[in-house]
């Protein structure tokens, strides 16, 4: 089993949207999606560790009132597991929302996951109403390690666990990074996002336990692909297009990608000079907070296609058969 942590230095990078779509793509049972010839069919669990600003459940069509019903019926959320230090086996049985659960009805029926997603796909949600009394403590890391061990060795034996961590470098975010085998660092092409992400990446390079990580820039849809969403003469759009080409180079993001080519993934292109440059229309996010990889099967949807291709790359490098 491999643990993949989705990280962003700042909020608003599309981390949770990407995490949910990549998790669903790994669990996909669909053939011939865009350039993807065969389904991955992996057993995937996604755990919401953004304990003070939870929202992963919303990507799967589960509203906050629905999650309140879930907890009112005695089902534990991530915070309950951490605070009460439940037995991991009990938490997995009680706290996981599987594909056949009534709470997954919208995801299963309306979003095409019914026949297209591995039946063991499981979401472990966090409570969306922040508890001011809840405090992340050192022992929570050990409690989460016990959960990961249960997910790896239990009856379902998951292939992947996706951790949707907090943004920034707060304690839970750091725990999620330490627990990972692989880190996906999402960021927008702005000064603050890039500089914070590069600081984190350089910190990773200097850690004794070297983890694999990949830089994944997200973007506001560019004019060429979003003509139906934005008007070409929309105020500031042309300047945004110029900035998201200029800033990665000025912030030395392209230099980092050139020096650490294996960390920069899909979203860099060779210039005539041979130097790598960040592609403006990198990970294409529509701005919709939903899992969309099964809608239209990704053949003509650049956002779904990108998530499928990231999932395939991860599976080739870290999957059970790799």
In tens, the pLDDT along 75-122 reads 999 999 998 888 999 999 999 999 999 999 999 888 888 888 999 999
Query: Do the domain assignments include residue 12?
Result: yes
Query: Domain of 210?
Result: 2-220+288-318
Q: What is the mean pLDDT of the chain?
A: 85
Q: Enter the tokens of residue 101.
A: 């659960």
Chain CA centroid to CA 33, Å:
20
Instruction: Give the Cα separation of 234 and 30 in Å (integer).
Output: 38
Query: Do the domain assignments include residue 79?
Result: yes
Look at residue 68 and tell me whether its pLDDT is greater than 70.
Answer: yes
pLDDT, residue 218, reads: 85
Look at residue 298 and tell me whether its pLDDT is greater than 70.
Answer: no
Long-range contacts of 296-301 (CB under 8 A, 24+ apart): 297/30, 297/32, 297/33, 297/34, 298/33, 298/34, 298/36, 299/32, 299/33, 299/34
In tens, the pLDDT along 158-193 reads 999 999 988 888 888 899 999 999 999 999 888 999
Q: What is the DSSP string of 150-186?
A: HHHHSSS--SEEEEEEEESSSHHHHHHHHH-SEEEEE
Query: Do the domain assignments include residue 232?
Result: no
Domain count, the chain: 1
In tens, the pLDDT along 192-238 reads 999 999 999 998 888 887 788 999 988 755 545 444 544 556 666 67
Look at residue 277 and tell me whether its pLDDT is greater than 80.
Answer: no
Query: Do the domain assignments include residue 249?
Result: no
Which SS3 state, helix, strand or coil, does residue 131 take?
coil
In tens, the pLDDT along 37-48 reads 778 899 999 999
pLDDT, residue 79, reads: 92
Q: What angle do CA 308, 269, 315 make, to 5 degrees?
A: 30
pLDDT, residue 296, reads: 62
Across the strands, what pairs with 5?
A: 163, 183
* DSSP type of residue 208: S
Instruction: Give the Cα separation of 131 and 230 in Å (integer).
Output: 39
pLDDT, residue 64, reads: 92
Query: Do the domain assignments include residue 280?
Result: no
Query: Do the domain assignments include residue 226?
Result: no
pLDDT, residue 223, reads: 46
Instruction: Give the Cα separation of 271 and 89 in Å (integer).
Output: 52
Across the strands, what pairs with 217?
A: 187
Query: Do the domain assignments include residue 252?
Result: no
Across the strands, what pairs with 269?
A: 277
CATH number at residue 305: 3.40.50.300
pTM greater than 0.85 (yes/no): yes
Query: Do the domain assignments include residue 242?
Result: no
Distances 155 to 120, 121, 152 between C-alpha atoms, Å: 11, 14, 9
pLDDT, residue 45, reads: 97
Confidence of residue 286 (pLDDT cuts 50, 70, 90): low
């Amino acid at each position: 089993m491999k643990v993949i942590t989705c990280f962003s230095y700042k909020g608003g990078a599309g981390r949770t949207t990407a995490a949910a779509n990549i998790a669903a793509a790994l669990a996909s049972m669909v053939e011939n999606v865009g350039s993807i010839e065969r389904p991955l069919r992996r057993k995937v669990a996604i755990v919401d560790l953004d304990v003070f600003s939870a929202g992963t459940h919303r990507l799967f069509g589960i509203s906050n009132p629905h999650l309140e019903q879930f907890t009112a019926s005695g089902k534990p959320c991530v915070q309950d597991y951490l605070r009460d230090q439940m037995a991991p086996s009990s938490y997995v049985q009680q706290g996981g929302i599987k594909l056949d659960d009534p709470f997954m009805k919208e995801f299963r029926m309306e979003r095409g996951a019914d026949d297209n997603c591995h039946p063991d796909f499981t979401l472990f949600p966090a409570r969306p109403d922040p508890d001011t009394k809840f405090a992340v403590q050192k022992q929570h890391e050990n409690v989460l390690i016990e959960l990961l061990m249960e997910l790896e060795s239990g009856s379902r034996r998951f292939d992947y666990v996706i951790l949707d961590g907090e943004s920034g470098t707060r304690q839970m975010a750091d725990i999620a990074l330490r627990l990972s085998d692989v880190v996906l660092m999402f960021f927008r092409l702005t000064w603050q996002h890039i500089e914070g992400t590069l600081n984190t990446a350089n910190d990773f390079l200097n850690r004794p336990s070297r983890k694999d990580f990949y830089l994944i820039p997200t973007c506001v849809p560019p004019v060429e692909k979003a003509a139906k969403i934005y008007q070409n003469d929309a105020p500031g759009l042309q300047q945004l297009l110029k900035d998201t080409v200029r800033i990665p180079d000025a912030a030395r993001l392209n230099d980092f990608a050139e020096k650490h080519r294996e960390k920069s993934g899909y979203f860099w292109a060779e210039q005539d000079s041979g130097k790598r440059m960040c592609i403006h229309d990198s990970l294409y996010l529509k701005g919709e907070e939903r899992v969309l990889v099964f809608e239209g099967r990704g053949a003509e949807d650049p956002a779904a296609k990108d998530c499928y291709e990231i999932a395939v790359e991860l599976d080739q490098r870290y999957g059970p058969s790799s």
